[in-house]
Amino acid sequence: MPILVDIYAASAATGIRPGAIRVRLHRGSLTHHGYDRAGRALIDLNELPATLTAKAA
């Protein structure tokens, strides 16, 4: 089940800088799940550890 959060909440939860998350979102390595009411991009928090391990390999 996806945990949808904005980029800043994802940054706080994982320690990844918001800019790095935006780059991964723009390049397509993270799935964009729409926007919240404030217009912030939503991502699945469960995807972030998977992209970190994929990049390290």
From 9, 13, 12, 2, select the one nearest 44 (Cα to Cα).
Answer: 2
Q: How many residues does the chain have?
A: 57
Would you state the pLDDT for residue 57? 47
Report yes or no: 42 and 33 within 8 Å, Cβ to Cβ: yes
pLDDT at 54 over 60: no
Q: Which amino acid is at 50?
A: A
DSSP summary character for residue 4? E
Mean pLDDT of the chain: 88
DSSP state of 18: H
The predicted-structure confidence for 19-40, as pLDDT tens digits, reads as follows 999 999 999 999 999 999 999 9
Average pLDDT over residues 4-23: 93
For the chain, domain boundaries? 4-56
**Whole-number pLDDT of residue 51:** 67
